[in-house]
Amino acid sequence: MGYNIAVAGKGGTGKTSLTGLLINNLTKNNKGTVLVVDADANANINEVLGIEVESTIGEIREEVSQREKQGNAFPGGMTKAQYLQYRLNTCLAEGDGYDLMVMGRSEGEGCYCYVNGILREQTDKLSDAYEYLVIDNEAGMEHLSRKTTKHIDKLLLVSDCSRRSIQAVARIRDLARELKLSVGEILLIVNKVPNGVLNKGVCEEIEKHKLDLIGVVPLDNLIYEYDSSGIPLVQLPEDSEAKTAVRDIMSKLELK
């Protein structure tokens, strides 16, 4: 069984950016094989990582259901399950020290229960072959309960410096508990912090909600520059504020 890290929080707080930098750190330190899962319907971690993705799980699901609807047989006399397995392997994008799987859009029309069931079984099996599984989630937490039955070793909640964003991650923490998700530690990262120093109001909010703060990532102008010029964030200098902060957080995480 792999070591499972999931990242969640309100939209726009920096989940995808930080997940990308976290993966970069993980692969640099050669911690083991890594599977990255982009579980956001509005998938974009490939841009932060700087790799191309050919197809998403959502597209495969759509394609398989279209084939069936049109009464087309699967190529080479494959069964539906065999074909899904084959297509699943083709949708893995190979990065530098990791593989990336993009979930993509989750529902079209029609019923996908059967295909979803097989896909879930197969993605679960696939992820077991890796030492680390890192999931970039969409804003809510609801889909996590549907998409994974796996144990999450570290659930990283990303918030910006607003009280509302802190409240949002507190709700995600509460929801994870209500849903009885199997989670090791739930830790808070506050991102986009001016000068890297939290103000009193935000500290109070964190305390009020009894959130476990593991680190702070400064508001980094370089991220803005790289983003607007379309340069993958993983190429940020090692001594940039963001990478330095992520390095510090990763060492505190004490991954196995």
Structure tokens at 117: 């069931």
Structure tokens at 79: 């069964």
Restricting to residues 8-37, name those near ligand ADP by CB under 6 A: 9, 11-17
In the bound state with ligand ADP, the residue whose beta carbon lies nearer, of 15 and 87, is 15
Task: Provide the mask over 175-214, with x wherever binding to ligand ADP is found by CB under 6 A and - wherever it is not.
Answer: ----------------xx----------------------
172 makes contact with ligand ADP (CB under 6 A): no
According to DSSP, the residues that pair with 35 across neighbouring strands are 99, 133
42's CB contacts (< 8 A; 6+ apart) are 138
Of the ranges 54-62, 84-92, 179-187, 223-231, which one interacts with ligand ADP (CB under 6 A)? 223-231
Mapped onto helix, strand or coil, the DSSP state of residue 142 is helix
Task: Provide the mask over 1-40, with x wherever binding to Mg ion is found by CB under 5 A and - wherever it is not.
Answer: --------------xx-----------------------x
In the list Mg ion, ligand ADP, none, the entry touching 227 (Cβ below 5 to 8 angstroms by class) is: ligand ADP
Closest Cα partner for 189 from 227, 218, 209, 164? 218
> Total residues at the site for ligand ADP (CB under 6 A)?
17
Rg for the chain, CA atoms, rounded:
19
The CA-atom distances, in angstroms, between 105 and each of 2, 61, 114, 120, 175 are 25, 10, 17, 15, 23
Footprint of ligand ADP (CB under 6 A):
9, 11-17, 191-192, 217, 219-220, 223-224, 227, 242
